[in-house]
Amino acid sequence: MTSAAAVPRLLFERPTCLIDRATHYCPGCGHGIVHRLIAELVDELALADRTIAVAPVGCAVLAYDYLAFDWVEAPHGRAPAVATGIRRVRPEAFVLTYQGDGDLAAIGTAEIVHAAARGERITAVFVNNGVYGMTGGQMAPTTLLGQHTTSTPTGRDPVLAGFPLPITEMLALVPGSDYVARGSLVDPGAIGKLKAMLRRAFEVQLGGGRFSLVEVLATCPVGWGMTPQEAVDHLSVVAETYPLGVIVDRTKGIGRGGTPGPSREA
């Protein structure tokens, strides 16, 4: 006979709305972790029945094959505008965009800025891995100076290719942004903090708040020419250009005003 205390407690399992299939992502790709965190939160907050998510163009174009809720595929960069259209006719939905660095910070710069400017009640998940993975690892707006990519083969030279774009800090300046934060996949602790940021962003939307965005410093081992663990370790270098923390949380008076406050840990 076994007492109840002998029954092992389940600590972790695959979230229900993370579809049980192998993904097309490369080994060690950051998208897999972000997908799982979103799935965990959608399960925990019971959002699957209300969620309408907008898929990007990029490696995560097939996100709709992995997360079990309604999706709309957007043209490249236009996910915040597609999400705006959804939000304006579906006040009760939970609206999410999932975008990479090219989608959000290059071709989609206008759309994300104006979604924030309108204070759209949507949450943008911004997966920043510093390259264009799907098309073969070319430079992105967030590529670091000196970083070698297939379109900056000798390293990003600011004279030719400009500087990494602090798009998230820019968005934090916009009065319509209620919560803007940046997390990282660099270690389990950071992943835990990132999940807390995502949860906070979701709660801002669910509570009737305005625009929320969480940037994730993520890995692209193949695009960076590194092993998965080397890529994860490299995230601490990326964080020197893109510091972690909550950049603005207007619901809590963090960084209120014209200039964003200093980054602080969530």
Partner 1 sequence: MSVAPIIGVRGDRPGGARGPIAASPPGATNAAISATPFVPLAIAIDHCKGCGLCVAACPPGVLALETLAVNRLGYHPVRLVDAAGCTSCVRCARVCPDAVFTIWARPREA
Partner 2 sequence: MPQTVERPARLVESERTQRAPAARTARARTRVLMKGNEAIAEAAIQAGCDAYFGYPITPQAELLEWMARRMPEEGRAFVQAESEIAAIAMGLGAAATGARVMVSSSGPGISLMAEGMSYLAGSEVPLVLVNIMRGGPGLGSIGPAQGDYFQATRGHGHGDYRVPVLAPSSIEEAVALVADAFEIAERYRTPVILLADGLIGQAMEPVRPSFRALPRTTTDWTVGGAAGRPPRTVRSLHLEPEELEVHNQHLQEKYREIERTETRWAGEALDDAEVAVVAYGTAARVARTAIERVRADGLAAGLFRPISLWPFPATALRARAPRLRAILVVELSAGQMIDDVRLAVEGRVPVFFHGRTGGMVPSPGAVAGELARAWALTEPRPAPDEVGQASRTVGRAGARATPAGVSPGSWGAAASPDATQHDVDEAVWRERHAPMKDATR
| 249 neighbors 201 (Cβ within 8 angstroms) | no
Say whether residue 28 binds partner 1 (CB under 8 A). yes
Residue 232 sits in the site that holds partner 1 (CB under 8 A): yes
212 scored as a contact of partner 2 (CB under 8 A): no
Which of residues 48 and 145 has its CB atom nearest to partner 2 in the complex?
Answer: 48
Tokens, residue 94: 């939970």
Question: Cβ neighbours of residue 177 under 8 Å, at least 6 residues apart?
Answer: 116, 119, 171, 210, 211, 212, 213, 248, 250
**Min separation Cβ 236 and partner 1, Å:** 14
27, 91, 208, 258: residue in contact with partner 1 (rule CB under 8 A): 27
Candidates 150, 188, 241, 248; binder of partner 1 (CB under 8 A) is: 188
Task: Find the part of the chain contacting partner 2 (CB under 8 A) among 33-41, 77-85, 182-190, 255-263.
Answer: 77-85
Residues between 92 and 111 with contacts to partner 2, criterion CB under 8 A: 92-94, 110-111
Q: For residue 248, report the phi and psi dihedrals to the nearest 5 degrees.
A: -150, 135
Residue 177: strand pairing partners? 211
Q: Closest separation between CB of residue 21 and partner 1, Å?
A: 8
Which one of partner 2, partner 1, none interacts with residue 250, CB within 5 to 8 A by kind?
A: none
The verdict on 125 binding partner 2 (CB under 8 A) reads no
**Are the C-beta atoms of 171 and 13 separated by less than 8 Å?**
no
Which residue of 52, 125, 167, 197 would you call a contact of partner 2, by CB under 8 A? 52
Q: Is 119 helix (H, G, I), strand (E, B) or coil?
A: coil
d(CA 107, CA 101): 9
- In angstroms, the CA 15 to CA 7 distance is 21
61 lies in the binding site for partner 2 (CB under 8 A): yes
Measured from the CB atom, the residue of 11 and 22 that comes closer to partner 2 is 22
Spatial distance between the Cα atoms of 50 and 202, rounded to a whole number of angstroms: 13
